[in-house]
Structure 1
Amino acid sequence: MVVSDAQADQAERLYFKAMKLFRSKQWDASQKAFKRTLVLLSKRAPKGKKQRVLLQLGRCDLLYHLALLAQKQARPQARCLHLQDLIGRLQGLPKGWRRWRVNRLLPKRFAHAKTLFSRCGKVPTPLHFALSPKETKLEWLTNTTPPSWTPLQGTHLKTTQRSLKIRLTAKGYIPQTHTLTLQAWKTQRFSYTLKPKPTPARRTPVIVAIKPPTDRPPQKAKKKSSLLASPWLWVGIGGSAVLVAGIVVTAVALQPKDEMVLVIEPSKRNP
């Protein structure tokens, strides 16, 4: 570890203790010692620029060992979070720090850290959902081609997506859709409550009054008399009129136009 002071102090002694525990494969005890050392270094406030860089290198070395411990303990999300912090701190260091009098193992360790971090893209992010009502159905949209809605079994989900679209449905409740922006590898919890659908307003029955029928019988419409409906028919022939009863009269026009021949057929109606 790189320290800003040549004299041994509490942080340096604790660091060497953590390294000893790490080499003896005492993972839990080593992890606690490394974390305590990191806390002590975070409380330092060096004045010079070089001293600040040396302090940053010491923090990066601690993060590297914490990432290795997380890998040994089968905690891939914690490993990636430590490596992400380490890579971010390295980007702010001057390029010539390798020529300084520092631990000669640091460049090799940091190169290994970058290799490990390149594999973190396959490490999923754990999500936990609290849904109300309990029968709420959660579906999430995959980033496959084409995208598809996949129902969630239970309330826990692990995904490598950095943005996740979900929809919530339940019978009798208003559905919801949300787009989540996720922090990689960090356990995140979400809580949603569906609102019940509004109850439709009851319709007031309309009472229609029906006029009761009167005792007076309806009057029959009077038939209008018609000359054609009468059994007597006046037929005009050649300027004269003939009254015919109970027979069918057919007038046939002959040449010239002013002459007509009257054809009389017996009627089927009794006289």
Structure 2
Amino acid sequence: MDAKFIKDETLQGIANAIRAKAGTAEPIQTDRMADAINAISVGGGDSYKDLFWDTLQDQGRRTSYAHAFKAGWTDEIFTPKYNIAISARGALNMFDGTYIKNVKAALEKQGVTLDLSEATDVGQMFRASKVTHLPLLDFSSAVAANQVFMSCKDLEYIEGIRCSETTKIAANDSQGSFIGCTKLSHCIFSGTYISYLGLKECPLDKESILSVFHVLSPEASGKYAAFSLAAVNKAFETSEGAADGSTCAEWTALVDGVPNWTITLS
């Protein structure tokens, strides 16, 4: 957790709660906050957790979680009490470098949701993290989405990404949101997409690839969608083990169906 992105009174309230439970008056360094939480949560009980999350989430009123769950956070201590609703740039670096793996399961276990429908910038939200599974991500208001999943080498599953004609998911090699996502096999796109999309490193399954074609806007001009050649060959193969999907009639028909888009394989 990075102190400069949390209100002073919020950080102080959390520190006071930790000291009270730990029976100490010693100061707590902000870069050790997650460790301090974990150390006392085992015996702290629900009353401690309630106090901690009431403070951190401002009784459910908090709308900016920029940098909130990065670095030292783990599945064990990520137990939010309230729904997480993000507005404006409040999702920036939210889980950047986090050790939380299954965000989807953690939210479901707590009975809470992640609402990004009003987030306009989701840059570096999960960058270089240990996440493996993510819930539905509503990027319909995201006019900026640079490096969202960049270097998420363990990411396997995203329930879905909801797009709109204003959604812009960075696709180039320096800012690309899916660069390094070499295990991502499932991600269902919905809505309408009109910007560049780079998925060339993702071994997407057939359902996921088909969903991309369903969202590519006929109004787009001069844009491209990049896929993994190996993923397409496997997903659309004409017989088991043939790995010939990129030359089959079904794939050709998909590409021909979006003449205003450049579809690339590599």
TM-score w.r.t. length of structure 1: 0.24
| Structure with the largest fraction of strand | 1
Highest Rg: 1 or 2? 1
Could you tell me the TM-score, scaled by structure 2's length? Answer: 0.24
